[in-house]
Structure 1
Amino acid sequence: MRIEQLKESLPISSIARLYNIPIKNSSYNQPCPVCNGSSSFKVYNDVYYKCFKCGCRGDIFNLIVDLKIVESNREAIQNIGKLVDSTEETKRYSYTVKGMKEIFSLYHKEAKGKRDRITEYFRSRGWNKAIERGDFGFTDNEEYLQKKGYRTYELERLGLMKSNSKELFDDHVIFPVRSANGSIAHLQGRALNPESELRWLADKATPSISNYLYNLDKAVSSKHDYIVLVEGISDCTSLLELSEVDESPLPVVGTFGINTPLIRHAKELGRFNQLLAIFDRDKYPLGSNRAGEYKSWSQITPALCLLAIEAKLDIKTWMVPDASGIKDINDLLIDIDYDHGLLIELIRESVMDLHRMALKVFSKTKERANFQLLWALHKAVPNKEELDRLEEYVLKTFGSMREHIMWLMSAPDYSL
């Protein structure tokens, strides 16, 4: 198996089980299996680990090197590769990749005969180039795959069945979700019926779709030195309608939700010099325990900070303008008639460095969970004045943790 496939099919919790390592996939700190430090070890999204005491950090390969099970990353790759060839996780991953490829091929053929409805929807969003690319499928029959010979249990294994024994997609345009190497890992469908209760549906195959970035396989081949990050297939597809002066498509990727473990993609995204994150400005409603906070930004900002440090990326941020009828980047592009130059002007007017956005997003929060974010920011702020402001804010907000925070901030290497 390729290195990327091993990482995708085997989370840290699976490696811990295979090698009998006492690690839990938990967002809480736990004992470090390397230095035995008490509550100093943390696992992020089951794909990355870090010990705040001894400094060990990395992915599944780094883990067994740190534990001295093997001596080098090369040996780790070979060792894990041999060990997992017959494991259930690997079998499931291989089955999913093969199954999704075959099923998307059927949906793709079906789309060719139902072009009119799809074209009408795409043009209403301004997606003319997406029509030309044709990288989508379609079905309007909730028994389509079964009529093609698939058994119910096969579709259930791929997460393509509903609880009522009907297929997941019926009257949906279906988009393939690929890993960085181009293999189809998931399918996500957009309902064409405007009255549909759920506009977007995704299969329940493992690993979760939130671990992937839409269009990453194509974006990584870009010759540009920057990449754009947005939320979802719609916003990503909208920006792909724009082209650079040389007619090459914009390097843009879309998250699936706002809890995407971006650090998982540090290697691919780290090949760029700069990343521009574009999300909307929706806030939690009054009455909720997070009233007034930005929904997307409060979730994605910590992940961006971790990515900035791990991938050594210069990350800029931009909120979609607050205007009537404009909820996201797709609405904005339709409003400005997909004018690339005007979009650049709008971005330049209010683009922010990541650390400034983080201070804006978390200016009122009292949640201790955000200490992780502030700690990461402390490594990234560019000048002493803002560093002093941030340090004062951290100590004021997390007063009961003062000694712990001061120890972390004085450490020679406290990057996450």
Structure 2
Amino acid sequence: MSPETVLAAVDAAIASPFSTDAFDACVMQTYGRFPLALERGEGCRVWDTQGRSYLDFVAGIATCTLGHAHPELVDAISDQIRKLHHVSNLYYIPEQGQLAAWLTANSCADRVFFCNSGAEANEAAIKLARKHGNTVLEAENPIILTAQASFHGRTLAAVTATGQPKYHKGFQPLVQGFRYVPYNDLAALEATLAELDAAGETVAAILLEPLQGEGGVNPGDRAYFQAVRQLCDQRRMLLILDEVQVGMGRSGQLWGYENLGIEPDAFTVAKGLGGGVPIGALLVKASCNILQAGEHASTFGGNPLACRAGLAIAQVMERDQLLANVQARGEQLRAGLQELVDRYPNLLAGVRGWGLINGLVLRNDPNVTPIALVKAAIEQGLLLVPAGAEVVRFVPPLIVSAAEIDEALAMTERALLAIAGE
């Protein structure tokens, strides 16, 4: 096939109308997709290929911090890609240094390692914990404790760290060196530590989410996390927090750990950091800054384009005081969802969350499942996302307005009644 023929075929493919059949014929079926093809967005709204609009309370699964097509994010990445979008980390990258300076100035961390995603950030954290166990604690096979119902990513070590067996099925043997404990249960954690002590095992780190997102929007208990912090100090274990979903303001604070009254030794962030441009990071205190040159790397990590996006997100968050909006709109959303719970106690069991990550907990009605409610909400023009077997998650962009919260609540009620037959 000549180059001209190849180019003509590519042009024809780009110009042809979107087809789900053509998509499914060549893309691996690793997602359970809803029959919806989105092609553009603005603010908190997106439009599908048929021209229908939707209020987006998924935000790329807690990722599109400033919503869609935010002019300052568009300008920043457009300007950057015209100048320099990628170079190797063999050289200094000014934008990377600027973003790292902002992150460390606005957190408890002293150093940053950049990568591309939350899973990669957690992989870096796992390697940090292993090296701490090997070199600082002098343990040959150190253990990392994680929580049941946690979620840390899809790479092999990250999925092993994830305390949900459904994600492990079919991928054995898993990575060794992990143990799971119940979330927010100090007695169970202490019992596990005693058991491992008796067996001569060394725990290098505890890896926890400040709020479990995929596990059902379960907020961390303040007293529990403060006790865990004390245990880590006493036993020289690292306390590592997975802030991939709640970091960058989604919890109502810049970092989820601020809701718990503690500081971790290290934490991971991704999702909202780039507002939809792929970027992840591991942030560490100087006391555990032990990864040396050649011990970890990422080809695309911290490239100029991704870091310029992160800087734009940071600038808009500060200038527009988005944390105040997250707190106000989060309270409004939780109050409205609680009103639905009060009106339909036979269908709904409760509401939980922080800031603009909130979960509506469903009863055991066979018709009112998370998937059923999400599908019904799509019909109403609202995008939501499941979180576990009994929860529907509401994670709109951090710029969401009071009117859009009210609109989403009305759509949710109509969707609920549609599937409940009331």
TM-score by length of 1: 0.24
TM-score by length of 2: 0.24
Of structures 1 and 2, the one with the larger relative CO (CA 8 A, separation 6+) is: 2
